[in-house]
Amino acid sequence: MKLRILIWFSCGDASAVAAKLALEKYKGYETHILYCDTGGEHEDNKRFLQECEGWYSHKIEILKSEKYADHFDVFEKTKYIAGIAGARCTTELKKVLRFAYQEIDDIQVFGYTVEERNRAKRFNLSFPEVITDFILIEQGLKKEHCHAIVESAGIEIPAMYKLGYDNNNCIGCPKGGAGYWNKIRVDFPEVFLRMCLISRKLKVKLIVYKGQRIYLDELPEGYGNTKSEPKISCDFVCQSVIEAQNV
């Protein structure tokens, strides 16, 4: 069986740099750059993906769930949002697609940065059967380095970063804290309203406010601070930060 290199691209600048480095490292091998289209990310991600394809001179393969349109569709159809083990949307829109695509002897490249060593370790513990390459950690690259490399390539960073978000996940991530959701309320009011309606319907209190769980529509405007809240991660070892919130 021919050795394949699977490079997981997420439209974040760290994964973009990881893909560029991996293409150079594994030149001559069968390489696949793979993007899981969740249906819920910012429209600008399409532009970013296309510009990265030009940077790489390599096509990015897009994987998309046949069952779910986006993360909200997952919540509504499964009647589940997130728990201590993670968010259902990540499982359905990313993990399921990876499991279907991968083969046992693939080398899989992930864009974890130096700050995310623990996430990389958690991945290896969760999926010991996967042959991993955390190329950014190997080369000592941080998030700030990845931002700079993308910009130096003449590629404008994704819109969500320019709006002040620390991640480029789906708009309206269920793992966000009070500050995150109040920012979504301002920047994407229709998304905020949709999550309010779904969480009420499913009787899920997403937010911790002064030590008590509340519904999203009970969140006071302006409350919370994104800088002091746990970082949101949406990867193949997604674990909810909802239980860890203390805001």
Residue with the bigger pLDDT between 229 and 68: it is: 68
CA proximity to 83, closest of 247, 238, 242: 242
Q: What b/e readout covers 195-217, taking b as 16+ CB neighbours within 10 angstroms? A: bbebbeeeebebbbbeeeeeebe
Tell me the C-alpha distance between 179 and 231, whole Å.
12
Q: In sequence order, what are the residues at sequence separation of 6 or more whose Cβ sits closer than 8 angstroms to the Cβ of residue 78? A: 88, 92
213 bridge partner residues: 208
Q: Where are the alpha helices (DSSP H) in the chain?
A: 13-25, 44-56, 71-78, 88-90, 96-101, 117-126, 135-138, 143-152, 159-162, 178-187, 189-201
Domain 4-68+89-161 has CATH 3.40.50.620: yes
Residue at 190: amino acid letter: E
Percent of the chain with pLDDT over 90: 84
Are 181 and 224 in contact by the 8 Å Cβ rule? The answer is: yes
Q: Quick check: 6 pLDDT over 50? A: yes
Tell me the C-alpha distance between 111 and 142, whole Å.
10
Summarised one tens digit per residue, pLDDT across range 101-145 is 999 999 999 999 999 999 999 999 989 999 999 999 999 999 999
Domain spans in the chain, listed from the N-terminal domain onward: 4-68+89-161
